[in-house]
Structure 1
Amino acid sequence: MNNDNQNESDETIQLQKFEEQAEQLIQSLEKVKFMGSKVEIVKYQNFWCRAQGLKSILHYQYHFKARDSDIIIGSLPKSGTTWLKSLIFTIVNRLNPDHHPFKQNSPLLSHNPHELVYFLENGVYGGNPKLPTPLQLQQLPTNSPRLLSTHLPYASFPESIKSSSSCKIVYIARNPFDTFVSQWHWHSKLINNWGGDPEFELPTMEDYFEDFCLGKFPVGPYFDHVIEFWKQSVKQPNKVLFLKYEDLKGDYAVLNLKKLAEFVGFPFSNQEESEGVINDIMELCCINNLKELEVNKSGFMHKLIENKYYFRKGEVGDWTNHFTPSMVERIENLIQENFRDIDLSFKMQ
């Protein structure tokens, strides 16, 4: 047997062994039915994830090697991930001759943002055909940053991201009220695509609210996720940037976009500022513009998720149209309990 065949055989054996170990791990973990459906979520490393997606997470954790030039976006689902991807992609590529001027030639005009900034556990290692394979990811040019994203909690990041590389991590957090509402709409669309029963009757928003408060949703709990990234941003300000969804939409949007550009190594020049480049980027990447693009009105990111699912309202304070007084009180109590000893707060409306 020649070396190539031997290497291929060894890799096949290692993969089979990995798959067996992953299956044993899945069987050993605590499980619950998500939203009362047939879809199982399991508790792994103190967060919840779909049982069917855990193998992809394990592959990502064990095999991904970060580069010093990588830019990693971290977030909870429905916290502004799509928006932040479009912003970072445009900031990094705004002077790319193939894309310039970006208002007319940006790939965002013909590609969903998730095709341009690659999800790791749900995409690259999850076999999404619209994203590169792990091998193709490794072979991307080293002279420009790879733009990548993940929903995993910080504690579950591969060590190559956390400690053995100087890659940058940008985390976006959204207030828990609006995060809950957006997740409810998102999961309600996807639950049957994940392997549920077509006749399954969705629980009410109030019923799902209990699971949210207990942290029993994919990559929950909410507060553990947000607080750990906030703490890391305080501990490692040159490595982790903590952004608030609400601040990117409010009076400090320009200031925060400048901070973001500087953090990822692509600061705006004085000339760009005077020419209105920052406002042009904000206009290109705003939800009202992205959701009206044909690419985001039709088609699929992969077989489970229609592109249009990624764009709903994008408003701050939409929760006021959904919450009952008892739900408000419950979240306010959780905020007080979890943020009591740290300097973290959110704009709620």
Structure 2
Amino acid sequence: MEVQESNLRPCPPLIVVSKIEVTDDKYKELIDSLPKEERFPPGLRKYQGFWQFQNAIPGVLAMKEDFKPRRDDVIVSSFPKSGTTWLKALTFTIMHRDKYTFSSHPLLKLNPHDCVPYIELHYALRDEQYLETLPSPRVLGMHVPYSLLSDSIKTSTCPIIHICRDPKDVIVSFWHMFKKFDGLMEPLSFKQTYELFCEGRVPTGPVCDHVLEYYTKSLSSPKKILILKYEEMLKDPTNGVVRIANFMGCPFSEEEIKSGLVEKIAEFCSFNELKNFDTKQSEGNIKSYYYRKGIAGDWQNYMTPEMANKLDEITKEKLCDSSFTF
């Protein structure tokens, strides 16, 4: 079925789940029993090893119980602020490259998060039926740890593409994003954010545990999970485009490669282009928080050497039993 732009609609930012009132007795008793972290507004709960916005947990649980992927779905996954928006733009554009020209592409009018909706968000909002209105093949996103996925996703043939990033840059991007949610949550200082991040007490954290679950599974199921590193994608985006297309099962033809389509997609979905699209869509759009600098190494402008070394040691300790490195 051909994707129509009319099937897509603006998606609220994932942060809105923090303000949803949990009234469903099915989950309320469980949620109230979970460990709580009040230093991160508006409050987190720890569920099966991962901290979540308290009011996001019903969406995660409902997704785990009820979501049934289609055979041709593609799922993009990440820890927040690890290159999610970029990966969504790339996967959507690659998947539907035969349906849209660059001059009439949905990304010119819609944010990548509108084109690739978060599964858990729509379940949290009790709007999961929207996902069923999207024609196949769907590209869907999530920030859910692998251990919290439904068995239907784990045993399905739909590929999962997971992008990860140096935790030091994740913290900086994380802090800047949450600073912009005026009225939705009280802002934290960078030092407060850093301390909570080091403790793993941030939404979907700890970050290393989150990434390691996907990485470990990718070792035994390389056709199921593709791990992408943000920094490697920055250095060679065209190679990243080819890897994504091959993994999704829609490799570029020789004709497409010769025509320069790979490079055109990489440029069309580049940080500067996506930020430019977003600016044109609506001045002051709340979704401008998705874009800041899009570079590697910006942590050096915010952390002291001591702070960076501490986080590097925490990361090294977490990863010591694996072959993974950021």
What's the TM-score, normalizing by structure 1?
0.82
Contact 1:295 1:307 in 2 (8 A): no
Among candidates 122, 131, 154, match of residue 146 of structure 2: 154
State the partner residue of 2:250: 266
Contact 1:34 1:217 in 2 (8 A): no
- Which SS does the other structure have where 1:74 is aligned? strand
Q: Deviation of residue 255 (structure 1)?
A: 2.0
Contact 2:108 2:281 in 1 (8 A): no
Distance 1:330 1:113, change over 3 A: same
State the partner residue of 1:183: 174
Among candidates 146, 157, 166, match of residue 157 of structure 2: 166
1:225 aligns with 2:210: yes
1:126 aligns with 2:118: no
Structure 2: which 5+ residue stretches go unaligned?
1-22
Q: Please list the CA deviations of residues 2-54 of structure 1 after superposition, one character each: whole Å capped at 9, or x if unmatched.
A: xxxxxxxxxxxxxxxx921211111111111143x4x1110011101111222
The residue identity in structure 2 corresponding to 1:287 is F
Q: Please list the CA deviations of residues 204-238 of structure 1 after superposition, one character each: whole Å capped at 9, or x if unmatched.
A: 21222111011100000011001111111111000
Residues 176-255 of structure 1 mapped to structure 2, 5 A cutoff: 176-190=167-181, 192-193=183-184, 196=185, 200=186, 202-250=187-235, 252-255=236-239
- Which SS does the other structure have where 1:292 is aligned? helix
Residues 240-319 of structure 1 mapped to structure 2, 5 A cutoff: 240-250=225-235, 252-293=236-277, 294-298=279-283, 306-319=286-299
Among candidates 131, 149, 153, match of residue 137 of structure 1: 131
Distance 2:106 2:65 in 1: 31
1:89 aligns with 2:74: no
Distance 1:117 1:158, change over 3 A: same
Q: Deviation of residue 126 (structure 1)?
A: 3.0
Contact 2:60 2:148 in 1 (8 A): no
Q: Deviation of residue 91 (structure 1)?
A: 0.2
1:328 aligns with 2:311: no
Distance 1:268 1:19, change over 3 A: same
- Which SS does the other structure have where 1:291 is aligned? helix
Q: Deviation of residue 299 (structure 1)?
A: 6.6
Identity of aligned residues (%): 38
Distance 1:295 1:117, change over 3 A: farther
* Superposed structure 1 runs of 4+ greater than 6 Å apart: none
Distance 1:41 1:70 in 2: 30
State the partner residue of 1:9: none
The residue identity in structure 2 corresponding to 1:84 is L
Distance 2:78 2:215 in 1: 11
What's the TM-score, normalizing by structure 2?
0.88
Distance 1:109 1:139, change over 3 A: closer
1:19 aligns with 2:39: no
What RMSD in Å do the two structures reach over aligned CA positions? Answer: 1.8
The aligned length equals 303
Larger Rg: 1
Q: Deviation of residue 333 (structure 1)?
A: 0.7
Q: Deviation of residue 344 (structure 1)?
A: 1.8
Contact 1:48 1:218 in 2 (8 A): yes
Q: Please list the CA deviations of residues 89-116 of structure 1 after superposition, one character each: whole Å capped at 9, or x if unmatched.
A: 00011111xx1x2x21211111111111
Contact 1:186 1:309 in 2 (8 A): yes
Q: Deviation of residue 256 (structure 1)?
A: 2.3
State the partner residue of 2:5: none
